[in-house]
Amino acid sequence: MISDIGHDGGVEDESVLSRPAPEPDVVVSWGPGPLDVADVQLGGDDRPLVVVVHGGFWRPAYDRRHLRPMIHALAADGFTAVAPEYRRVPGDPDATLEDVRVALRVVPVELRGRYDGRVVVLGHSAGGHLALWAAAVAPATGLVGTVALAPVADLGAADRERLGGGAVAAFLGAAAATRPDLDPTRMVSAVTPVTLLHGVDDEVVPLRQSEAYAAAHPDATLRAIPGAGHFALVDPESAAWPQVVAAVRDMAGA
């Protein structure tokens, strides 16, 4: 499906969000709550685990299920891939962050023996924000690197520009300036490597979001992908997908 959701009135192909995909191999629980679950697609046990944090501008309408084509593709490439759920409560960002913190600590332990002990975190859009936040202050168990795909990496600018129709203010319940502790561009740098992939033609989260993060954290690697929009980076059928896999392989040394 082509959705007219572009920042400047353009169009983005978001067909991957509703594309049918097989059920995951396993659904694991990582806590007592109804959303304390994660979809798991099994790959080889001799490669790192890839934890994929979904996006959706932190809104309740978007959950982990749209990542099923992606985790299947990663598993087909040999990586066990897991997509944890998290609470998405407007105005309560700390609930979201606590869920991400716990999931990144517990899920790799629950899947021990299904991978080689190393973990790569992969986050898209708002999930990229959460992945970058976690890399700085709440790294996953066994984390060796983070790949952020079209992340909302500069909350201050995203708030000023009202990306996603004011998604940052809705998520925080306040202006971004009140929570610099949640803004990756203004936080401390991650202790493990970070790579950002961003489509040059992204009309949902513009490339300047990743550019701001890379400027603030010079050790990070930014790869701008010509011709790619926002959803191409989570679409295994897109021309940009091989670059996503390559970034994961680079982090994994595979």
Whole-angstrom Cα distance, residue 152 to residue 77?
27
Average pLDDT over residues 75-83: 97
Whole-angstrom Cα distance, residue 216 to residue 2?
34
% of the chain with per-residue pLDDT over 70: 95
The mean pLDDT of the chain is: 93
| Residue 13 pLDDT grade (very low, low, confident, very high; cuts 50, 70, 90) | confident
pLDDT of residue 16 exceeding 50: yes
| Residue 20 pLDDT grade (very low, low, confident, very high; cuts 50, 70, 90) | confident
pLDDT of residue 183 exceeding 70: yes
pLDDT of residue 1 exceeding 60: no
Count of domains for the chain? 1
Distant-in-sequence contacts of 245-248, Cβ < 8 A, 24+ apart: 245/73, 245/74, 245/77, 247/147, 247/195, 247/197, 247/223, 248/50, 248/74, 248/79, 248/120, 248/122, 248/147
Whole-angstrom Cα distance, residue 143 to residue 33?
25
% of the chain with per-residue pLDDT over 90: 90
| Residue 186 pLDDT grade (very low, low, confident, very high; cuts 50, 70, 90) | very high
- Written as one letter, the residue type at 101 is R
Q: Tell me, what's the pLDDT at 254?
A: 59
CATH number, position 158: 3.40.50.1820
Task: Give the structural domain span for 199.
Answer: 2-252
